[in-house]
Amino acid sequence: MSPVIPREHFARASEQHLNEQVAIEKISYMHTFAKSSTVATIVAPLLCIPLYDTVEFGQRFYIWLALMTVAVAVRIYLIQSIRLDNQISTNFTKLNWAVGIVTFVWGIGWLMLVPNMEWVNYLLYQIISLTVLYVGMVGYCVNWKTFYSFALPLKIPELLFIMLNFQFIIWPIAIGSMVTFYLALRMGFLFAKSWEKSISLRYRNDQLFEELTREKDASVAANVAKSEFIATASHDLRQPMQAINIFIELVNFNHLAERERSIFHKMRSSITVLNKMFNTLLDISKLDSNLTTFHEDFELSSVVKDIALTFTPLAIEKNLSLQFLDSNFRIHGDRNLTEQILRNLLANAIQYTNSGGVTVQFSDVQGRLTLSVKDSGCGIPQEDLPYIYKEFFRSQHSRSQHDGLGLGLSIVSRIVEKLGGSMSVDTQPQLGTEFKVDTRFPIKGVSEGLTVQPKALAIVQPDLWSETVAVKHLGILENDPSLLNAYISYFESLGYEVHPIPHTEPEFKNSLLSIPPLDFILSDFRLGAQDGVYFIETLREEFNENIPACIVTADTSPQHLSMFKELQIEVLYKPIDIHSVSEFIANRLR
């Protein structure tokens, strides 16, 4: 069992690392300055030769000059010996000695040279001393210990000189020099502390930024993992669900006893709930895969007609009224996303409404389409309103009464956000809820409207599958024998000429000789060594025609969605009932 390391240990380690980084920053800055000022360190003492050539110093000037030469040489050696990747404390020691030894020689000049000078020369040496002090402040005040090592050897000998020669010195100059010395030490100390805080803050900000970056990367990775999991899990679960959907539709209810018929009806209802959950997960998966929008002109009434065919039976089953008002608009926008918004809002409204009805209202607001879905259901509690657009949120007030994953409103919210629109909700407990969506889609004109009443629609609802003409040739690619047989039985009963197409390469090549020109290709995606796209494209090349084709798949990966779109291959997602597949094909063959 691994030992538990206290949190304080990590805090101390982090603080120690921060201090090391600040120290490295200091030594790097001062070392660079020390190297760049080497030339000035050599030239400055040499300038004293012509400056004081008229002053009688005797041997003391040349002794001082010799000491300065040795000090400069030692300084150069120490500066050159500093390696920034070595121990930090050693580097500071070398640097402090390097800057202090030269200023010490400048300082003892007060005792060796100045006593024999005239006041003008004294003033010149004072100016030289102050210049050296201020130059040092620029380079070494980031570390107060180094600056003190630089300044104290320079000014303490001057203070000693003042004490020994107090009766001869010019006091205003001396006092001003000492005050300047004190202020320089004070400013150096304060600046060093301020600089340390500034650098520490910068490193802390860098650390925080790195932590935020790591957390963001982790969040993105988690989101990607979630999307991949949803895509993978939904694929593996959709395949058997697709088989269940087809087989359950092939069962003849008239051959069942009353008790078995009741059980079968309940099983079918449960499968319908599962299908809704799978479709909701599919919507989330597509949104997570950087869903692109496609804007075109379309008739709003055609969208309403398709939606009414789906939701009218649900409304009738619950004895609810269902109205679509003012749908006589021609819109420029994304038809599929508009339909998806309406489907999710309608499913939500019908699910939470037990009496009364649901009204869908379309409006022209400043030339843009606004839609609202209003129900007479149970309403949304005020405490739940901040959370209704979050993924997987389900209210505790209704969780036990209704099935679902809590994704419908989250999907709508994300679609509306992607479209650049806005969404609002108005709700009253036990009176109903109204969701309003501004799609930002421009309204291009007015066409014939459609107002739908569910009972009337139930009577006139067309049988879309009965329109299939017997001469239509349908090619089917499916590697599950039982599903293939179910497809053949169902579509032959509708009058199609069905042609099962082999999905292995040699058999497929041989079958091309006997396959007649196809009107439509229905294919699974994963078929073994080759996928459905390969067979569809090969058939299109064989007949030299862009044959309408659809892939029925459980795969929701973004790259495949893009590929299908580029190749003009439409997609239906498992699980889907056989009637929807038949309706889809019939609409494409009209």
**For residues 432 and 428, what is the distance between their CA atoms, to the nearest angstrom?**
6
Which tens digits make up the pLDDT trace of 379-408?
A: 888 777 777 777 655 565 554 444 445 567
Mean pLDDT to the nearest integer, 190-218:
78
Q: Is residue 186 part of a domain?
A: no
Judgement on whether residues 420 and 515 belong to the same structural domain of the protein: no
Mean pLDDT to the nearest integer, 227-242:
64
Which tens digits make up the pLDDT trace of 400-417?
A: 444 445 567 877 888 888
Q: How many domains does the chain have?
A: 3
What does the DSSP assignment read for 368-425? EEEEEEEE-S----GGGGGGTTSTT---TTTTTT----S-HHHHHHHHHHHHT-EEEE
Q: Considering the chain, what is the average pLDDT of its residues? A: 78
Which tens digits make up the pLDDT trace of 41-57?
A: 888 888 877 777 666 76
Is pLDDT at 1 greater than 50 in this prediction? Answer: no
Long-range contacts, 286-292 (Cβ 8 Å, 24+): 286/556, 286/561, 287/411, 287/414, 287/415, 287/418, 288/223, 288/226, 288/227, 288/230, 289/227, 289/556, 289/557, 289/558, 289/561, 290/558, 291/418
If residue 481 lies in a helix (H) or strand (E), which one and from where to where? helix 481-493
Q: Cβ atoms within 10 A of the Cβ of 209, count?
A: 10
**For residues 291 and 244, what is the distance between their CA atoms, to the nearest angstrom?**
29
Judgement on whether residues 75 and 124 belong to the same structural domain of the protein: yes
Is pLDDT at 463 greater than 70 in this prediction? Answer: no
Is pLDDT at 225 greater than 50 in this prediction? Answer: yes
518 pLDDT tier (thresholds 50, 70, 90): very high
Which residues fall within 8 angstroms of residue 339, CB to CB, at 6 or more apart?
303, 306, 307
Judgement on whether residues 72 and 130 belong to the same structural domain of the protein: yes
Is pLDDT at 499 greater than 90 in this prediction? Answer: yes
* Per-residue three-class SS string for 421-464: CEEEEEEECCCEEEEEEEEEEEEEEECCCCCCCHHHHHHHCCCH
Judgement on whether residues 156 and 26 belong to the same structural domain of the protein: yes
DSSP 479: S
Please choose, from the candidates 309, 284, 406, the residue with its C-alpha nearest in 3D space to the C-alpha of residue 352.
406
Residue 393 token pair: 């949120």
238 pLDDT tier (thresholds 50, 70, 90): low
Judgement on whether residues 441 and 501 belong to the same structural domain of the protein: no
Residue with tokens 């008739």: 299
Are 305 and 461 spatial neighbours (Cβ–Cβ below 8 Å)?
A: no
Judgement on whether residues 26 and 128 belong to the same structural domain of the protein: yes
pLDDT at 190: 78
Of 124, 150, 169, at which residue does a domain stop?
169
pLDDT at 277: 62
Q: Is residue 222 part of a domain?
A: no
**For residues 189 and 192, what is the distance between their CA atoms, to the nearest angstrom?**
5
Angle in degrees, CA 425, 346, 556, rounded to 5: 105
Which tens digits make up the pLDDT trace of 153-190?
A: 888 888 888 888 877 777 777 787 788 877 877 887 77
Q: Is residue 184 part of a domain?
A: no
Are 447 and 301 spatial neighbours (Cβ–Cβ below 8 Å)?
A: yes
Are 519 and 472 spatial neighbours (Cβ–Cβ below 8 Å)?
A: yes
Q: Is residue 202 part of a domain?
A: no
Which tens digits make up the pLDDT trace of 430-461?
A: 788 899 999 889 988 887 544 444 433 333 33
Of 169, 192, 210, at which residue does a domain stop?
169
The amino acid present at 275, given as its one-letter code, is: N
Range of the domain at 472: 233-290+462-590
Residue 187 token pair: 């400013």
Judgement on whether residues 342 and 490 belong to the same structural domain of the protein: no
Of 398, 431, 461, at which residue does a domain stop?
461
The amino acid present at 233, given as its one-letter code, is: A
Judgement on whether residues 326 and 435 belong to the same structural domain of the protein: yes
Is pLDDT at 342 greater than 80 in this prediction? Answer: yes
Judgement on whether residues 359 and 243 belong to the same structural domain of the protein: no
475 pLDDT tier (thresholds 50, 70, 90): very high
Q: Cβ atoms within 10 A of the Cβ of 227, count?
A: 19
pLDDT at 378: 82
Helical packing angle, 7-36 and 60-81, nearest 10°: 130
Judgement on whether residues 519 and 451 belong to the same structural domain of the protein: no
The listed range with the strongest mean pLDDT (10-24, 118-132, 513-527) is 513-527
Helical packing angle, 119-140 and 38-51, nearest 10°: 180
pLDDT at 480: 82
